[in-house]
Structure 1
């Protein structure tokens, strides 16, 4: 980004990146609603860690991975950012989400338990750090996008819950 005033082009780029983050993290939720139990194979295969708890839990599925990568790749392509960038963003957002899920299991939190910050920051921060050079993001851009994602994801989660798309608000 530019050093100084934010240009319209910079603001539009930040908006497109934020949209991709929301799509990468929202696509699994919509896929769950649309596909019900189909393709709901848990990524951890039911495996447990040394502490006896599941690695990620049943909510992290192959269906979510496929939905996130496909939808984000398509959206990135439509936004003129290239499908490859979308795939990288989605994959790194999913890695952040898996890190959060793994951490929540180690903390003894149940699947779908709320952990404000832990539920949003890794899945937005990791893709921004991975794509920082490619997108020419500065530290301020990353902080602004992460904060915006946390706020929007929290608000959208409540909306999706009220629309009965999500089982619970986060």
Structure 2
């Protein structure tokens, strides 16, 4: 997921550590969940739900870690 996101950011002339909402989170969560569909007997709606949950948790956690000085950026 990160490889694809980095490639697209370079093509859009974005800085490597710049914020790209959804572009940073969706591939990172979708591809692993999609690859594990059969292992965990998931359907596509479950995968989409997992992606949405991941995005919400990741964004919230990033802001919390930034607030406490653990991360350099709030994203």
For normalisation by structure 2, the TM-score amounts to 0.94
- Which residue of 42, 61, 65 maps to 1:137? 42
In the aligned structure 1, how far is the partner of 2:40 from the partner of 2:5?
24
- Written as runs of structure 1 = structure 2, the 5 A alignment for 1:50-61 is none
- Written as runs of structure 1 = structure 2, the 5 A alignment for 1:78-89 is none
- Which residue of 52, 56, 63 maps to 1:151? 56
Could you report, residue by residue, the CA deviation over 1:15-50 in whole angstroms, capped at 9, with x for unpaired residues? xxxxxxxxxxxxxxxxxxxxxxxxxxxxxxxxxxxx
What residue is the counterpart of 1:16 in the other structure?
none
Structure number with bigger Rg: 1
Q: Tell me whether 1:107 sits opposite 2:12 in the alignment.
A: yes
Runs of 4+ in 1 over 6 A off after TM superposition: none
In the aligned structure 1, how far is the partner of 2:25 from the partner of 2:41?
22
What residue is the counterpart of 1:125 in the other structure?
30
What residue is the counterpart of 2:71 in the other structure?
166
Q: Which runs of 5+ in 2 are unaligned?
A: none
For normalisation by structure 1, the TM-score amounts to 0.43
In the aligned structure 2, how far is the partner of 1:124 from the partner of 1:152?
11
Q: Shift in Å at residue 98 of structure 1?
A: 1.6
Q: Which runs of 5+ in 1 are unaligned?
A: 1-95
RMSD between aligned residues: 0.8
